[in-house]
Structure 1
Amino acid sequence: MTAGLDTPDRRGRTGLDRHGRDLTGNPRVRVKDVEVLSCDWYVLRRTTFDYQHHDGHWSQEQRETYDRGDGATILLHDTDRRTVLLTRQFRLPAYVNGHPDGMLIETAAGLLDGDAPDEAIRREAAEETGHTIGTPEPVFDVYMSPGSVTERLHFFAAPYRPTAPAADGYGIAAEGEDITTVELPFDKALAMVRSGDIADAKTIMLLQWGALDGPFRHPGPREGADL
């Protein structure tokens, strides 16, 4: 009996080796086997599949996929003051891969944990910044690292207003979170992308969306518009 397959793992899951076996959307892919390598908290699988190449021949391939669930992130903006509200927290993977101190400036984000994306991001915004937002604006959905990680990230935007002094820290203490907020002028945030002081992909994407097509875009005709 194996935890996560025949018996519940510590998150109560079973049948983790059946995920991805019944895919039928691509006739050039035939899944042969799915093996669970780890299910301590997230799930690491090794999938064996036959793949038909563009010239017609078939080959057998193996890929490892890391399944941590889908997530959501949000750009909190104040267009009157031209500011954005970001977070700062320690990220061990970035620290061990060359970031000077692992303290990344990011948009608020988190896993869906069974909620709808808009519900999850309202929860995460409150937990990580202390702000209660209204209905968030959907921006786009993105596979952030499709070569190995299954996560699809739902991007949102919403206005915020300064309502109270910032607390000393946010996040779920029981989960080891120690998050502070960082309010920046929007133009400074863009400059920090250029300088490398903001190096988080989701944050860069939302800041650039804010400049190109979002609340901080310059007025005028858009690309493709009739002139």
Structure 2
Amino acid sequence: MKNFFFYGTLRHVPLLEIVLGRAAADIKFTSEKLHDHAALAVAEGPFPCVVERAGAVTDGLLVEGLTDTDIARLNFYEGSFDYDLHDVVLAGGQTAQVYFPAPGAWTTTDAWDLRAWENDWAALSCFAADEVMDYFGKYTAAQVAKMFPMIRTRAAAMVNAAHSKHGAGTLHGAIDVQKIDRAYTNYFALNEYKLRHERFDGTMSQPVDRAVFVVSDAALVLPYDPVRDRVMVVEQVRMGPIARGDRSVWQFEPIAGRVDPGETPQQAAHREAAEEAGIVLQSLEPVAEVYASPGCTTEFFYIYVALADLPDKATGVAGLDSENEDIRSHLMSFDALMAMADAQQAANAPLVTAAYWLARHRDRLRLVPPKATPDIT
């Protein structure tokens, strides 16, 4: 058995429990210090690394008596962060192993603050660790490292779910999840559940088998120019229509993209407008916070209409090369948008939702027009 000293996120005991796969009561740990070392934040993410620094003192957690299985689980988890193990002698005289970063792996910044991290990132990190450790013995650490950005994005959605606005007037009954199997994971994931749920008569259902497509939250925004009374929609090829065999696989839709970890839906809407259409949004009007299809997917939409300046020159082809995006923007009059929606020619539900919301609020929005740019036709 071996001793480990943790100076970073694994000082958060709930996270340590997830990684080791056992309760805190079954883990022997005490507070300790490591002299002549500093725990520093890194620019690449909300976690620290440790570096040698004369006179510095690093607070941490000494965990004693770790088994080979414990260490294998720790190496699997930390393998996603590019760390190596080194022996150190702690202030109390104990020898322990510490995860040090590979040379040049991270860009260090200021001293790392555990309490600030716990406030901002602990919940997300625990959700992400639940998924990571579910892959222990199934995938290599290198494979998980490639999936980790989307793991964190799915974890961020679970954090957001704790703050949902809906639910008033509905049953808040018991859910008994008996088993969860991850049938598939890559960019997206597919979970299979066996569960029971409370019925409206107060009894519990029989066990039922269900599958759910696990994805991220998304921000969607329809830019509207109240001076010119027109909107911008974007067009791109979509996998849903391709897989369904639709005759039309390029779709009109609002600007859209996932909400990244540490980002608000509003920030995501502004970022995606710049990335997908090259425009700057002036203000956001919340339209809806809704599940895309709650019977089969976790995907959750934050839908907005945004006031924006949309001159003739605003259109073009944009998107991130790193995401293989090929997105064309279009300007459309309000009347043309509503005619398309009324004729069921818009196959994108958030676009239709935003269009009818705009019809309801259009007069109010036109009272405060944005600063306009002259048209170039």
- TM-score interval, smaller chain: 0.7 to 0.9
**Structure 1 unmatched runs, 5+:** 220-227
Counterpart Cα distance in 2 of 1:203 and 1:154: 12
Cα deviation digits, residues 39-92 of structure 1 (max 9, x gap): 111121111111232332531012111111101111210112110111011112
Query: Which structure has the greater CA radius of gyration?
Result: 2
Counterpart Cα distance in 2 of 1:125 and 1:141: 19
98-107 or 74-83, which deviates more = 98-107
| Alignment partner of 1:10 is 2:146 | yes
**1:82 counterpart residue number:** 229
**1:46 counterpart residue number:** 192
Structure with bigger strand share is 2
Q: TM-score, normalised by structure 1?
A: 0.82
Distance 1:52 1:162, change over 3 A: closer
**2:357 counterpart residue number:** 209
Contact preservation (8 Å) 1:44, 1:67: yes
Counterpart Cα distance in 1 of 2:195 and 2:244: 31
Counterpart Cα distance in 2 of 1:67 and 1:108: 21
- Identity level (%): 25
**2:334 counterpart residue number:** 186
**AA at the equivalent of 2:240:** P
- SS class of match (2:194): strand
Matching residue within 231, 240, 243 for 1:93: 240
Q: Superposed, which structure 2 residues align to 1:1-227 within 5 Å?
A: 4=132, 5=134, 6=136, 7=141, 8=144, 10-12=146-148, 13=151, 26-55=172-201, 56-114=203-261, 115-162=263-310, 165-166=313-314, 168-212=316-360, 214-216=361-363
Counterpart Cα distance in 1 of 2:280 and 2:356: 24
Q: TM-score, normalised by structure 2?
A: 0.51
Counterpart Cα distance in 1 of 2:354 and 2:235: 16
**2:95 counterpart residue number:** none
Taking CA–CA contacts closer than 8 Å with sequence separation of 6 or more, which of the two structures ends up with the larger relative contact order?
A: 1
Counterpart Cα distance in 2 of 1:112 and 1:140: 15
Instruction: Give the superposed CA RMSD.
Output: 2.9
Counterpart Cα distance in 1 of 2:347 and 2:208: 33
Contact preservation (8 Å) 2:178, 2:194: yes
188-197 or 78-87, which deviates more = 188-197
Number of equivalent positions: 212
